Amino acid sequence: MRLDEYAGYDAVGLAHLVRTGEVSAAELTELAIAGAAAVDPQLNALVELYDDARDRGVAADTAPTGPLAGVPMVRKDIGAPEAGKRTELGSRLAEGLVTHRDSHLTAAFKEAGLVIIGRSATSEFGCYGTVETALRGTTNNPWKPGHTSGGSSGGSAALVAAGVVPIGHANDGAGSIRIPASCCGLVGLKPSRGRVSAGPGAGEPNFGGSVQLVVTRTLADTATVLDAVGGPRPGDPFVIPGPDRPYGAIAASAAAGDVGSLRIGLTTAPWGPGVVHPEVAAAVRATGEALEALGHHVQEADFPFDFEQFEHPFMDLWALGTAGPIVGIGERMHRPLSEEFLEPVTLAWLEHYHRLTAGDIPHALDQVNRMARRAGVFFTRYDLLLTPTLAQPPVPFGMVNGTRTDLDAAGNARALLEFNPYCPLFNLTGQPALTLPLAQSADGLPIGVQLVARHAEEAALVAVGAQLEQAMPWAARRPAVHVAGALPGR
């Protein structure tokens, strides 16, 4: 198999080839390694290629089990620790940190048969909407180097978009699955709070706002991974309803037209101080027209979002949710929380944390409850909400990163929310949200469109997403930096 052939399959397709004996897991691992060697010098997206990656591919051939047996993937350098491997959180503070047990998610990836070949780049402590770090440098967008691949899961997104692997682990506390998926032309599902376990090392990170899954190139891959890793684990704080049938089956039947008619509210109104790029707004409206043609009822909707009410609770909870881990890592690594080991904006967030009072957090949580209740009322009238994913196409480097010296925490939050106003609310409300690569800018940069559902109703997103994948296909698009332009595998 050549690299261009390998990159033409999604994970489900590659797993089928392994099951039928047409290709081996070891061969797929070799192709992923070759792809990384060919394109990562331009991307800077792979933090570490495991020295035992080839052995893992060989081992997968000896006992190929699971729905994605033999398929290579990367693990983001935060959020899903792996026993005996480093997890450095994109920060000099955690450089050299080795974890000693698999997270439930990492174990589930392995049980699904996925072959983890290495770690992908992330922003420092996953705090920023781009990957531009003091530790590892910048991760380029494969569609247009010099522009962000998004964050904080930008390394995974760049590697998947460039064809190195079909699946990249990602997590999302304020859009960190959806931002890079939108920037890199991928599918990115933020699951509901409680759908994927954060254990055993965490309960509800960022007050339940941070959740885990992957970025992929197809709905089938995302649905299959969700089937494999979703569901409660011992000690999880609560259990949410599952689908009536597997997400993969829902995607397959929806692609064949079995969905029904849903009520969909559409908005392109700006959520905050920024403006919505005309090409982004046009992409949302075109998606609404496609959904109408598919038999859904789509109408302009006034979603109850109040930026002034949102901004301060978001900042306070973000500061508290990130400061604790940072302090703990500093103690574990015996390093001071100083500019020697932390980026300037991270230090600014620590300053904001230290200014919090005992009353700030209950007030923030009360405001989150109010926002969730208003959203809940909206979703009694609509089944889905259709919005931009980001207010703009992928931006050049330097706008939303943690190495800037001219921003305090409030300035960083404002810069992020001008670029990324539509994602963070749904981390606070706990609802599932899906971004799809349904458009491109005049410059050829990807534009994502976001669909949001009620809590625990990922099935509706998977179904409608599969419909849109048929009606507005994106599979033929390839970025400028891609393994298909590299030397053939063999």
* 76 classed as catalytic: yes
Tokens in use for 266? 């559409």
User: In sequence order, what DSSP letters do the residues of 272-334 get, joined into one string?
Assistant: SSS---HHHHHHHHHHHHHHHHTT-EEEE------HHHHHHHHHHHHHHHHHHHHHHHHHHHT
Q: Which of 91, 120, 176, 192 is catalytic?
A: 176
Residue pair 103/81 in contact (Cβ under 8 Å)? The answer is yes
CA-to-CA dists, residue 27 to 8, 38, 160, 162, 195, angstroms: 15, 16, 18, 19, 33
Nearest to 116 by CA among 170, 50, 22, 188: 50
Q: Which of 76, 85, 144, 190 is catalytic?
A: 76
Q: Which of 24, 123, 149, 152 is catalytic?
A: 152
**Residue 248 CB neighbour total at 10 angstroms:** 21
Tokens in use for 128? 């920023």
Strands 46-49 and 115-120: antiparallel
Q: Where are the beta strands (DSSP E) in 146-197?
A: 167-172, 187-190
For residue 132, list its beta bridge partners. 138
* 190 classed as catalytic: no
Tokens in use for 283? 């992409």
* 103 classed as catalytic: no
Alpha carbons 408 and 124: distance in angstroms, whole number: 16
Active-site positions read 76, 152, 176
